[in-house]
Amino acid sequence: MSERARRIAIPLVAFLFGLVSLGVVAVMTLTPGGREVATSDVGGPFTLTDHDGNQVTQDDFLGEPHLLFFGFTHCPDVCPTKLFEISEVLRATAEEGRELNALFITVDPERDTPESMRLYVQSFDDRIIGLTGSDEEIDAVVRSFRAYKRRVPLDDGDYTMDHTALVYIMDDQGRFVASLNTTQDPQAAAQELLGRI
């Protein structure tokens, strides 16, 4: 293998390993102790701040199904990839899904202010709403969604975050329906989404 190919392959393998690890963590989180978790056990009330600085609760998103994803704006790969996939799925739902939104909830409230969330999500689809809050508020919503987050120190003194990378489908009553596979073709994912809501 050439030096150039090796330089490309090593980060790619590391990225794929990280993606698989997040998937394993997500499954373990949603099925603690190996027991199946009922969809009704996922989600719950929350109070957060949207990317325009307004306080919102779960009730503000009732009436229309929506997607929900945990991440953070300093995420190097998984989050921008997933938000791009979500954007493509939303577009692929066309007129039938024009009222759909996606909630992007930070797992890094220390750095993710409403302003930074607004600047970040506007790079994707205007139906993606960035949500942040205090450490306590974020911890509560992560727990209620059986999600996972962990701060990971870096060698340079900075840090990154490990977190659940599931895309949650929520119905018009704010109830968890299923997770959405956004890695498939956007048209197929859009049909899967529309078929579940």
pLDDT in tens, 79-98: 999 999 999 999 999 999 98
pLDDT at 2: 56
Residue 122 has pLDDT above 90, yes or no: yes
| Contact call for residues 81 and 182 (beta carbons, < 8 A) | no
Would the pTM count as exceeding 0.85? no
Please report, in range form, the residues annotated as the binding site: 75, 79, 163
Of 170, 171, 192, the C-alpha closest to 181 is: 192
Of 172, 112, 109, 169, the C-alpha closest to 145 is: 169
Task: Report the mean per-residue pLDDT for the chain.
Answer: 85
| β-pair partners for 48 | 56
Q: Which residue ranges make up each domain of the chain?
A: 3-196
pLDDT at 133: 97
Please report, in range form, the residues annotated as the binding site for Cu cation: 75, 79, 163
Superfamily of domain 3-196: Glutaredoxin (3.40.30.10)
Residue 17 has pLDDT above 90, yes or no: no
Two tokens, residue 169: 């489908």
Helix axes 186-196, 78-92, angle to 10 degrees: 70
Three-state SS sequence of 1-65: CCHHHHHHHHHHHHHHHHHHHHHHHHHHHHCHHHCCCCHHHCCCCCEEEECCCCEEEHHHHCCCC
| Contact call for residues 73 and 113 (beta carbons, < 8 A) | no
pLDDT tens, residue by residue, 175-195:
999 999 999 999 999 999 999
Residue 102 has pLDDT above 80, yes or no: yes
Two tokens, residue 33: 């102790």
Two tokens, residue 129: 């709403």
